[in-house]
Chain A
Amino acid sequence: MSGIGSLVCGYAENDGIAKVALDQLSSSIENFASRALKFLNEEFTDEALSFGPFCARVLLENSCAALLGRLDSFRMLYLSEFQSQPEYEHGKRAQSAFSWTGDVIPDNNKCAKTLWSLDNDLPRISRALFSKHFEHIYWKPAIERMLDFVTTCSPNSALQEILEIDAETFIDKGRGKAIQIYSTLSKGVHWEFFTSALLFDEETVKSAIRDTCLLISQLGLISHFIPTAYASLEPTRAMEEYISFRKLML
């Protein structure tokens, strides 16, 4: 157990749909994270080349889904409920399914350009994980609370990257990073290589795995400092989980 499952999904005490969904995601995240870390830390193999990007991609998507679910419980409960309905068919795309563009990265064509305006109608207020409104309402204050908490902890080299976080820029950087990693990992999953020059190698696969682990663990840590987030851990426990996971990344 790397601890990343509970760092991202928290711990839901009450039984119910949300707990089932988060427990399921947590177990999947743990499973794929342990494989991804193995590919990152051990000698590079053909297996790592073939499956490393896949594991990191699942890790990224599941983590973003879990974080979104904890911040916007309605979205998680809706998806969970819908998937148990007879109308939900495996062979067909559901228009309201969880999607990278829309749920994680805001769809620039559909969301409001300005943060606050009388003309912004509700459908244009993006509830994507990296949207401007989520950044303002959830992430920025949580980052400052998290950094204030870090100053009360004893110095630890595993917190180096955390101390470099600035609430003003973290989500902009994180959005760019998430888009880049997603795109890179997609190429590793779909093997859309029509020229041998494009093929992945150790440097690219390991960098992408490490970037994924770092991003989701940082988002996971910060999420526990959002007062309205579901299933949050105590700050001390969240920090311990972060440090122990960070130490697993070479």
Chain B
Amino acid sequence: MTVEQSTEEESALILAAEECPPESFNQYHSFSPHDEVIIRKLSAHGPVLLRGGRGSGKSALLIEAHRRMKKLSKVFPVYVSLRYLPLLQSDGQEYIEHFCILLSQAIQREINDQNLSYCFPTANDQVSLQVALMDFSQNLGMRLVLLFDDAAHIGREKPLEVFFDLFRTLSSSLTSCKASIYPGVTKFGIRFDVFNDSTVIDISRSDVSAFPDFFPEVVRARYPKLAKRSTFSDRLSPEQFANLLGRAVVGNLRGFILACNRFEAIDRIGIPELTKCFLDMASDYFWPLMEEVAPKLGVYEALIDPARDIIEAICEHVSKPVKDKIRVVAQDRVLIHRQIISQYIKIFEILEYLGFISRREASRALKSGGRGPIFAVNLCNLLDSVPTKRLTSEMIDEWSSGGMEPAELHVSGSTFQSIKLPPLTEEHGLAILQKPIDVLARSSAYPYGLTSKVIGRLSAAQISTVGQLANSTDEELDNIGYIGTVKIRAIRDVVYQAIWM
């Protein structure tokens, strides 16, 4: 096996749900009873917004709903990924046109896949699209369910208002629109009332005590070796392992898969191996995530540094009683006064989106007065801030149970005192598109990034920025020496990771 092949296979392990080959989808995905309720809702009449952070499993739920609906006789489902560069670069009328064409084409592809004889017109405005959808539904005698994946890019908020306007306009009793969004989408536009025009469903899996079977189930389906008792030391059961890992990454499925991958070559897993995984995840997954995401945040790019400061301050705050020997185990959740949250709202949204923290409760009273939400903190960064940097059985029990009292951040506290918010500039597109292609080199942010040879060949072909590379056709890339189909796919995967979340 060549290095390239091996890299390809490795990267296949971490591909997002939307990139998973349809024939293997079933094998690699499992769904909790709560997921089943969400899937049913995605298949029912009515508009739905599915909200969750990066890698939380939104796409998997949309795809599973799509797969199941295809078997129903009364529903025609269409899955559309809105990860389409022109949508990211446009607004207003131009966005509408790209959107309508993209959706029309997706519908036609679905018609072809289902071997139906119908020609769906390529609409380029919302009125003709509406009419076409109605005609199609009535002709078919089926209702339509449109599943929009990645409807919102966290770094580009301007087109969101247009999207939600389209979402509302296209929704009818014959057409149900469903879309995945991230925590913190707040700009719904003036015509869209989020509470009346949709049902918002939040995906949250950070409380492993509430769903004790989910992560062990994922492990059984995807990593049979990690579900065997014989793989673990006496002090660690496969269920404890799966739930602790799930809790460590605050229920984020992408983080969970990446963590599990680290144990594939280990024959016997005990607490020291788990400790190593947590600390490694903190240094080569969580922190590099900030670097990777910064240029995709558009106008919010400047908030990455204070975001780093805030997560450090939270970890410092919860581990201080351990340093001061007041507590043996650091509190894994933090209750933050809502006034503090409102001051740093976008930063908390980014941290939640990236999976550093996860909202566990919406509102709880603080001992010092006032109320605020409770966030679960990822255990990797938390362990890294504990003086011993070593997992113990007590930590495993306490952190898995979900029953620890949360630490509190009071409104008059000084934890965030030194964190200053930089002024935000006007929205002008994503910085990543202007960055030189060197940023895509293999690194901790891009573990499957481009080699120096490939970068050299692309540069020689006058492709010098990420934007130029994203816009080049397969044919243009194929014309470059030593770059063929396999390499083009690898390049596309890296560019995809660089631009999209």
Contact = CB atoms under 8 A, between A and B. Distances in A.
Interface of A: 143-144, 147-148, 151, 154-155, 157, 160, 163-169, 172-173, 175-177, 179-180, 184, 187, 195-201, 203-204, 206-208, 210-211, 250
A172 B74 contact: no
Contacts of B361: 163-164
Nearest to A145: B365
Contacts of A208: 44
Taking residues whose C-beta sits less than 8 angstroms from the other chain, chain B's interface range is: 35 or more
Contacts of A176: 193, 195-197
Contacts of A195: 137-138, 141, 174
Given A176-B196, A197-B140, A250-B33, A165 B363 contact: yes
Given A164-B361, A180-B196, A206-B40, 9 more contacts: A163-B362, A175-B195, A180-B46, A184-B45, A197-B141, A197-B143, A197-B174, A198-B143, A199-B74
A180 B44 CA distance: 13
Contacts of A147: 363-365
A172 B37 contact: no
- Nearest 3 CB-CB pairs, A to B? A176-B195, A166-B362, A157-B210
Given A163-B361, A164-B361, A144 B371 contact: yes
Interface in B11-52: 33, 37, 40-41, 43-46
Given A204-B44, A207-B40, A197 B137 contact: yes
A160 B207 contact: yes
B113 to A, nearest CB: 20
Contacts of A210: 37
Query: Which one of B45, B197, B199, B209 has the highest number of Cβ atoms from chain A below 10 Å of its Cβ?
Result: B45
B152 to A, nearest CB: 20
A213 B21 CA distance: 38
A207 B41 contact: yes
A187 to B, nearest CB: 7
Contacts of A250: 33, 37
B431 interface: no
Contacts of B138: 195, 197
Given A155-B403, A196-B141, A206-B40, A201 B362 contact: no
B103 to A, nearest CB: 18
A164 B140 CA distance: 40
Contacts of B210: 157, 160
A61 B207 CA distance: 34
B174 A198 contact: yes
Contacts of A172: 195
Interface in B350-369: 360-365
Most buried by A among B197, B209, B364, B373: B364
B161 interface: no
A200 B45 CA distance: 8
A155 B364 CA distance: 14
Contacts of B196: 175-176, 179-180
A234 to B, nearest CB: 21
